[in-house]
A and B are shown apart, each in its own frame.
Chain A
Amino acid sequence: NAGVTQTPKFRILKIGQSMTLQCTQDMNHNYMYWYRQDPGMGLKLIYYSVGAGITDKGEVPNGYNVSRSTTEDFPLRLELAAPSQTSVYFCASKEGGGLLTEAFFGQGTRLTVV
């Protein structure tokens, strides 16, 4: 039972480069999320999706894009990497939007932009 899988686990990017962080889940969850975690800060919501074809911005969407073509996959795209995007990125999914449902997390992607 894989749950939520993120790739890669680590990446170093140069300023201005682009990359896609992959996230896939095998639990048939409708809700998926991307968070970033900066040192000493909580998890900040970047984007979320409530189902295939539907995405919306979270608290810190600037510099990122997402797509949700299937229920399983929710990739996060960085078009022009900046040092401010150095962070640990977490993908998560939930079964639904109910208040009591827990989030399941991937193992995270540590991204450094130099």
Chain B
Amino acid sequence: AQRVTQPEKLLSVFKGAPVELKCNYSYSGSPELFWYVQYSRQRLQLLLRHISRESIKGFTADLNKGETSFHLKKPFAQEEDSAMYYCALNTGGFKTIFGAGTRLFVKA
């Protein structure tokens, strides 16, 4: 079955602390994974995709096929990182499966 699991509904960290948002997937094919973010009162938007191996706003995510994971990491959290984060899996071209989301709260 195709599935994306984000085990944490809420993650609360202090400003300057490292943050890791977990994402595990289940997919028999070659996965294409994304992280989307939704800031307060804004629309859902792409944060980064695994194929680009990029760092966006200090966030990185590495695809680990052995552990079927795509965790999102940032070494030093900022208050403006507070948002809802969704891990997503593109399957078969047109279909995108989303995880339940993790709300990140960065405390001052």
Contacts and interface: CB of A to CB of B under 8 A. Distances in A.
Contact of A90 (B44, B88, B93, B100): B44
A110 B40 CA distance: 15
Interface in A18-63: 31, 33, 35, 40-43, 45, 48, 50
A12 interface: no
Contact of B100 (A40, A50, A102, A108): A40
Interface in B53-108: 86, 88, 90, 93-101
Contacts, number: 53
Interface residues of A, number: 26
Contacts of A50: 94
B43 A106 contact: yes
A97 B45 contact: no
Interface string B9-44: 100000000000000000000001010100000111
Greatest chain A CB density within 10 A among B6, B93, B96, B100 is at: B96
A104 B44 CA distance: 8
Nearest to B95: A45
Given A40-B9, A105-B44, A106-B43, A97 B94 contact: yes
Given A42-B99, A90-B44, A107-B43, A102 B94 contact: no
Contacts of A99: 32, 90, 93
Contact of A42 (B4, B51, B93, B95): B4
Interface of B: 4, 6, 9, 32, 34, 36, 42-46, 49, 51, 86, 88, 90, 93-101
